[in-house]
Amino acid sequence: MRHIQVTVPVGKREAVLDLLDEEGIDYVVTDETSTREYDSIVTFPVPTNAVESILDSLQDAGIDEESYTVVVDAETVISQKFDALQEEYATETVEEEQISRQELLTRADELTPTFSVFLAMTVISAVVATVGLLLDSPAVVVGSMVIAPLIGPALSAAIGTVVNDREVFATGMRYQFTGVFSGIAAAALVAWLFQALFLVPPGAEITEIDEIVERIAPELLLLPVALGAGAAGILSLATGFSIAIVGVMIAAALVPPMAAAGIAIAYGLPVAALGSTVLVLVNLLGVNLAGLLTLRYMGYRPGSVFEVSTAQRQFFKQVAVFVVIIFLLSLFLTGMTYSSYQISEFEGTATQETEDVLAEYDDMSLLELEVEVREQGLPFDASLDATQQIDVVVIEIGGPPGVYDAVAVETLEERINAHTAGETDVQVRFVTIGGAELETPTETDEPVTGT
Per DSSP, the three-state class of 39 is strand
pLDDT at 433 (0 to 100): 76
Average pLDDT over the chain reads 83
82 and 141 in a single domain? The answer is: no
Last residue of a domain, one of 259, 284, 303: 303
250 and 374 in a single domain? The answer is: no
Nearest to 108 by CA among 338, 254, 295, 257: 295
Residue 120 lies in a domain: yes
Tens of pLDDT along 188-211? 999 999 988 888 877 677 877 888
The boundaries of the domain holding residue 425 are 339-450
Q: Kindly report each contact of residues 322-328 with a partner whose C-beta sits within 8 Å and lies 24 or more positions away, as own/partner.
A: 322/285, 322/288, 322/289, 322/292, 323/289, 325/281, 325/285, 326/223, 326/282, 326/285, 326/286, 326/289
Residue 314 lies in a domain: no
pLDDT at 384 (0 to 100): 55
Query: Please, which pLDDT band fits residue 246 given cuts at 50, 70 and 90?
Result: confident
218 and 255 in a single domain? The answer is: yes
Integer-rounded Cα radius of gyration of the chain = 31
110 and 247 in a single domain? The answer is: yes
Quote the pTM value: 0.75
- 171: pLDDT strictly greater than 80: yes
- Stretch 308-337: mean pLDDT, rounded? 88
Tens of pLDDT along 389-425? 788 889 898 888 777 778 888 888 888 888 887 788 8
Last residue of a domain, one of 280, 303, 326: 303
Per DSSP, the three-state class of 366 is strand
Report the distance separating Cα 179 and Cα 150, nearest Å: 8
Report the distance separating Cα 136 and Cα 275, nearest Å: 19
The length of the chain, given as a count of residues? 451
86 and 108 in a single domain? The answer is: no
Per DSSP, the three-state class of 316 is helix
CATH of the domain at 414: 3.30.300
Residue 313 lies in a domain: no
CATH of the domain at 118: 1.20.1080
Give the total number of structural domains in the chain: 3
Last residue of a domain, one of 90, 121, 147: 90
Tens of pLDDT along 95-141? 656 778 888 888 888 888 899 999 999 999 999 999 999 988 899 99
Share of residues in the chain with pLDDT > 70 (%):
91
243 and 299 in a single domain? The answer is: yes
- 225: pLDDT strictly greater than 90: no
Query: Please, which pLDDT band fits residue 431 given cuts at 50, 70 and 90?
Result: confident
- 449: pLDDT strictly greater than 50: no
